Structure 1
Amino acid sequence: MTTTLVTGANKSLGLETARRLIAAGHTVYAGMRDLASGSAARELGAIPVQLDVNDQKSVDEAIASLPALDVLVNNAGIPGTSWTVDDLDVDAMRTVFETNVFGLVRVTQAALPLLKRSPAPVIVNVASALGWPRALLDPDDDCFPVMMVPYPSSKAAVIALTVQYAKNLPGMRINVTDPGYTATDFNQHNGHQTVTEGTDATVALALIGPEGPTGEFHDRRGRIAY
């Protein structure tokens, strides 16, 4: 049985990822800050676990509660509250990076000892094309109109982190995904994709075996060339 931890799994993309991986036969632990928000995950058959990516004690206790770990999906993230340079300051940057970047590293580092015991360890980091300069500069891309700074910068960091983790840990399959413009709370449900479409890449990469890709950036259509 494959044991999987999905962070930020109480709703939206994280919850849908949990649902699909349970359907694929995984035992899924659904990480969330507040266990009171875990009813939807429980109904799917996931096991809610209290996990605040910004709190080292919470992360350590969550990882310690797992019997094993084969797949880690770093899905937890926040958009922040700064939308242009007019409302940008260092605190706005710090808040987003604390969750989206430092939180990802905090969970991953805590999970590595368990993952190293797995015969086929996998990490999937959820980023965004908003962290990809090519998309930000393309007038025909959904990302082009977005003027916010903290969130895209944090997701650019996640893409780079993924590549470096993959290089450091060649025995693991470590990849990063772009969900695409998906209808979620992040965008007031204005995205043109469903949450199922938005989790296609993440689920596909969570299901790969030891011969699968590593250090790659994928969306639901496949690999995004660096």
Structure 2
Amino acid sequence: MNILVTGGTGTLGTLVVPELLAAGRTVRVLSRHDRPATDGVQYVRGDLIAGSGLTEALDGIDTVLHLAGGAKGDDTAARHLADAMALAGGVRHVVMVSVIGADTMPLGWFRAKRDAERAIADSGVPWTVLRAAQFHTLVRTMAGKLAKLPVVPDPRGLRFEPVDPREVADRLLALTLGAPAGLVPDLAGPRAYTFADLLRTVRRRPALPLPLAGPGAMRGTRTWEEFLAEH
């Protein structure tokens, strides 16, 4: 199995790539910058938003693990990847990580994720999509910034189920090594928190009162408190 990983140098990529190598797979990472091959990983230069370098990146690849994402442009990146995979002809499985609520949250970033999922599903390549909750690392960064405010917002009814990125990486590894499965059960953390709960665990501040995972969602085991204890 020859695997191309997009977003291979990000939070998930740095966790999944070593596991793929340990499983005996050949790994190529798409990068916007030139990088020398290291630890058995080949890097190829390409840009998903611009749609450049993808033909070369997909040469000889039969599986794609699409982890790349950003504040905007995920839908464009996915369409470029889908078009390139269709032209390459040799890709037999594409795995994508998305976000819980991609099909229900009326916000631009979630809509971009929804459109990215559709682009992958319409690519003609057998696919698997895993929707995950916000990572512990992301929630820590967000809570840390907001906790610096004298008064923090507390959106009533807004709840988080943060999940450890290592558990997401393990799930993605299994999905990548398995057969295409379409949209698989969501992966959320073991506990739900209000926004104020998360902020209080980082730093106490006065709160100004202002989607959970779907039925059948899978649950991780490592809690927000256990993550904080390590960091």
The structure whose Rg is larger is 2
More strand per residue: 1 or 2?
A: 2
1:76 paired residue number: 68
Structure 1, unmatched stretches of 5+, are 81-95, 137-147
Contact 2:94-2:126 at 8 Å conserved across structures: yes
What is aligned with 2:47?
52
The question of whether the paired residues in 1 share the 8 Å contact of 2:65 and 2:176 is answered with yes
2:134 pairs with 1:181 = yes
The within-5 A match list for 1:73-112 is 73-78=65-70, 80=71, 96=72, 99-112=73-86
Q: CA deviation at 1:162?
A: 3.9
Does the aligned pair in 1 maintain the 2:139–2:162 contact within 8 Å?
no
User: Any unmatched runs of 5+ in structure 2?
Assistant: 144-160, 189-213, 218-231
1:62, distance to aligned residue in structure 2 (A):
2.9
Q: CA deviation at 1:128?
A: 0.7
Which residue is 2:7 aligned to?
8
Instruction: Say how many residue pairs are matched.
Output: 175
Give the whole-Å Cα distance in 2 for the aligned partners of 1:218 and 1:46: 30
- Matched residue, 2:186: 219
Secondary structure of 1:47's match? strand
Give the superposition deviation at 1:180: 2.6
Distance 1:58 1:149, change over 3 A: same
Q: TM-score, normalised by structure 1?
A: 0.65
Return the structure number with greater helix share: 1
Equivalent of residue 126 in structure 1, options 75, 89, 97: 97
What amino acid does structure 2 have at the position aligned with 1:174? Answer: W
Farther off after superposition, 121-130 or 200-209? 200-209
For the residue of structure 2 that corresponds to 1:12, the secondary structure is: coil
Give the whole-Å Cα distance in 1 for the aligned partners of 2:122 and 2:62: 20
Q: Does 1:152 align with 2:110?
A: yes
- The Cα shift of 1:158 comes to 2.5
- Letter of the 2:77 partner, please give it: G
CA distance in 2, matches of 1:130, 1:216: 13
1:98-145 per-residue CA deviation (whole Å, 9 max, x = no partner) reads x3111112122212344x336xx1101221103142xx5xxxxxxxxx
Is the CA contact (8 Å cut-off) linking 2:103 and 2:111 kept in structure 1? no
For the aligned residue pairs, the C-alpha RMSD in angstroms reads 3.1
Asked whether the 8 Å contact 2:79–2:120 carries over to 1, the reply is: no
Aligned partner letter, 1:150: G
CA deviations on 1:9-46 (whole Å, 9 max, x unpaired) are 1121122222221122210101121235x7xx824x21
SS in 2 for 1:72: strand
Q: What percent of counterpart residues are identical? A: 20
What amino acid maps onto 2:38 in structure 1?
Answer: R
One-letter amino acid of the structure 1 residue matched with residue 42 of structure 2:
I
Q: Give TM-score, length-normalised by structure 2.
A: 0.63
